[in-house]
Amino acid sequence: MTETQRVLVIDDEKINLKIISDILRGDVDVTLAKSGSQGIRKAIELKPDLILLDVLMPDMDGFETMAILNRDVRTCAIPVIFITALDDARHEEKGLLLGASDYIQKPFNAEIIRARINLHLQLSQQRKMLERLANIDPLTSLANRRKYQERLFQEWDSALTSKSPLSLVVMDIDDFKQFNDHHGHAEGDKVLQQVARVISSQFQRSIDLVARYGGEEFVALLPNCNKEYAMEVVGSCAKAIENLQHTYHHNDKKYTVTISSGGVTYVPDSSGKVEDLFSAADKMLYLAKQKGKNCVLWTNNDLLTSL
């Protein structure tokens, strides 16, 4: 089922807001704002698929509003269509140069408005689909490494500002080569999918990011999260994965699929480097494997600062 798309209309004249919402009603969700500042607030809050923005408004005009929307990471990707007067070529040009996707002219022509808006909503949908494809691992539907890297930098900066602990854990399936050799790659894929589902169901805070780092390795990035909570969740993941009871025999010994994990909790400061966070967790993972696998090892600031 496709979601109804949302269009935000920003115009100081009530009559224009009414005409446009009458034209669009039924096809899309319409949200109205009667000033630039109100429009910016609603754009941040509702993340519309498209914004229609009047050029001439008192206080903050359309160009200023667009410049603020462009500077904010939460709104800069939302396409904007300027509303201009029919004979206003200079404003059209300035709007397009600022990055507007298109313009519609007053007095309004219902058919042209519908056609233009439908076109831009289609483009917006395609762009979102491409964005999803670029950020999601196709086998497990988890975020991919690219998405994880992007979030890591954002969360590092934000933890640096708020001086809050950032936890990172790397989880790796034990002896997965043996499992593949015994059951075949297709069964191995199914295990990866199940493990991914288990891991993402255990990390329940909406701010946490779980991603497939590559191969049989997963990462979880936990903003504002202390070591105790992070270790508890990772422990639950490990138990739930063992309980899946994927077993096989190798050299007359029975094996069950398990994971080893390495984690770090760190309050970023200017002396630390974001890359060292992963290195510290990965080092813990390495030690967990050395220790005999199926266990969790964790570190904190000390290791990170000595890397």
Which is catalytic among the residues 13, 131, 216, 217?
Answer: 216
- CB 153 within 8 Å of CB 277: no
Q: Is residue 34 part of the contact set for ligand GTP (CB under 6 A)?
A: no
- CB 261 within 8 Å of CB 285: yes
Choosing from 175, 208, 276, 282, the residue that interacts with ligand GTP (CB under 6 A) is: 175
Which span sits near ligand GTP by CB under 6 A: 106-114, 126-134, 169-177, 251-259?
Answer: 169-177
- CB 154 within 8 Å of CB 142: no
CA distance 59 to 37: 9
User: Which residues make Cβ contacts (< 8 Å) with residue 232, sequence separation at least 6?
Assistant: none
131 is catalytic: no
Residue 114-153 contact track with ligand GTP, rule CB under 6 A, x = bound: -------------------------x--------------
Residue 176-215 contact track with ligand GTP, rule CB under 6 A, x = bound: xxx-x----x--xx--x----------------------x
- CB 241 within 8 Å of CB 257: yes
CA distance 199 to 234: 8
Q: Angle, to 10 degrees, between the axis of helix 274-290 and the axis of helix 145-162?
A: 110
Of 62 and 188, the one with the shorter C-beta distance to ligand GTP is 188
Q: Is residue 250 part of the contact set for ligand GTP (CB under 6 A)?
A: no
Shortest gap between Cβ of 186 and ligand GTP (angstroms)? 7
CA distance 223 to 227: 11
Residue 278-297 contact track with ligand GTP, rule CB under 6 A, x = bound: -----------x---x----
Count other C-beta atoms under 10 Å from residue 36's C-beta: 24
Which residues of the chain form contacts with ligand GTP (CB under 6 A)?
A: 139, 172-178, 180, 185, 188-189, 192, 215-216, 289, 293
